[in-house]
Amino acid sequence: MDSRPVALGARLKQYPSIQTIGFKPNFQDYSSQEQNLIMSAKKIYYPTAFYADLFNAMGKKTFPNFHTYKFALNKIKQTAAFNMLGIPHPETKIFYGKKQKQTILSFFSFPFIAKKAKGSSRGNDVYLIQNSEDLCLYLRNKGPAYIQEYFPIDRDMRIIIIGKKIRLSYWRIAAKDNFKTNISQGGAISFDPLPQKALNLAQLTALKCGWDDVGIDIIEHQKKFYVLEGNMKYGTKGFKKAGINYKKMMVNLILEGKV
């Protein structure tokens, strides 16, 4: 019997040591052999968001786990979790509907940050709101308003946790005249040592939230550390710059039973 680890998502499909079956939304479209492989596997790797909760309901382990998928690209749910779990997080409030949105300036003073609450990544749909005109333009977007206090920083920390360990950490330094630190927005990577308190906070956050494959963004302001968010769709440019083959690393972690 084939004992290779079973994956649905195609992330590692070029590595024959991992059986990548592929994603099919109709389970009956899998062959009988594929169905048996899926159902008999002790763990499914990269189950996709579609199947992650189904496997969780069945009691079947996955990597990434169900909680990691559940919080992906959902800033509202993440903020609620941080507040409930006592994880330091910039003051943030979500406003629903026209009536609530009219009260934003009762809670926040310019400048502040406004973001798209769900579905955005790579620094997209993040705005520095400096006046009423900026706010009006932002509020033309549909959906809830996600408003967050602004800290004037020029860098943040990206700490990537895979399994239960930090696999990579680095500073992201914003480009000149840009408040965003994202690499996709022109930010630069620095491997200068990160404060141990930030590394500890990232591990604590992943543990409390139940995340096992995440890039956690942390900022330091006035000697305090704050978690901005968890990125389940983090980029791998940092690994490349560090001389690490990300996909090969993942295959080794899977084969060694570390994830």
Question: Residue 210 above 80 pLDDT?
Answer: yes
**Per residue in 219-228, pLDDT tens?**
999 999 999 9
**Per residue in 235-250, pLDDT tens?**
999 999 999 999 999 9
For the residues 26-55, what does the mean pLDDT come to?
97
CATH number of 91-149: 3.30.1490.20
CATH architecture of the domain formed by 153-255? 2-Layer Sandwich (3.30)
Residues 8, 11: Cα–Cα separation, whole Å? 9
Same fold, 91-149 and 153-255: no
Mean pLDDT of the chain: 94
pLDDT-derived band at 207 (thresholds 50, 70, 90) equals: very high
Question: Residue 122 above 90 pLDDT?
Answer: no
Could you tell me if 216 and 154 are in contact, meaning their C-beta atoms sit under 8 angstroms apart? Answer: no
In the 3-class helix/strand/coil scheme, how is the chain assigned residue by residue? CCCCCEECCCCCCCCCCCEECCCCCCHHHCCHHHHHHHHHCCEEECCHHHHHHHHHHHCCEEECCHHHHHHCCEHHHHHHHHHHHCCCCCCEEEECHHHHHCCHHHHCCCCEEEEECECCCCCCCEEEECCHHHHHHHCCCCCCEEEEECCCCCEEEEEEEECCEEEEEEEEECCCCCCCCCHHHCCEEECCCCCHHHHHHHHHHHHHHCCCEEEEEEEEECCEEEEEEEECCCCCHHHHHCCCCHHHHHHHHHHCCCC
Could you tell me if 235 and 174 are in contact, meaning their C-beta atoms sit under 8 angstroms apart? Answer: no
pLDDT-derived band at 159 (thresholds 50, 70, 90) equals: very high
**pLDDT at residue 14, as a whole number:** 97
**pLDDT at residue 119, as a whole number:** 67
Report residue 198: phi and psi, to 5°.
-70, -40
Could you tell me if 136 and 127 are in contact, meaning their C-beta atoms sit under 8 angstroms apart? Answer: no
pLDDT-derived band at 123 (thresholds 50, 70, 90) equals: low
Q: What angle do CA 206, 145, 79 make, to 5 degrees?
A: 15
Question: Residue 30 above 90 pLDDT?
Answer: yes
pLDDT-derived band at 184 (thresholds 50, 70, 90) equals: low
**pLDDT at residue 248, as a whole number:** 98
Question: Residue 117 above 90 pLDDT?
Answer: no
**CA-closest candidate to residue 162, choices 254, 44, 48, 56:** 254
**pLDDT at residue 182, as a whole number:** 72
Q: Which of 20-29, 42-51, 93-102, 113-122 has the lowest mean pLDDT?
A: 113-122
**Per residue in 60-76, pLDDT tens?**
999 999 999 999 989 99
The more confidently predicted of residues 165 and 120 is 165
pLDDT-derived band at 142 (thresholds 50, 70, 90) equals: confident
Every domain of the chain and the residues it spans: 6-63, 91-149, 153-255
**CA-closest candidate to residue 49, choices 254, 246, 232:** 232
Counting residues of the chain whose pLDDT is more than 90, the rounded percentage is 88
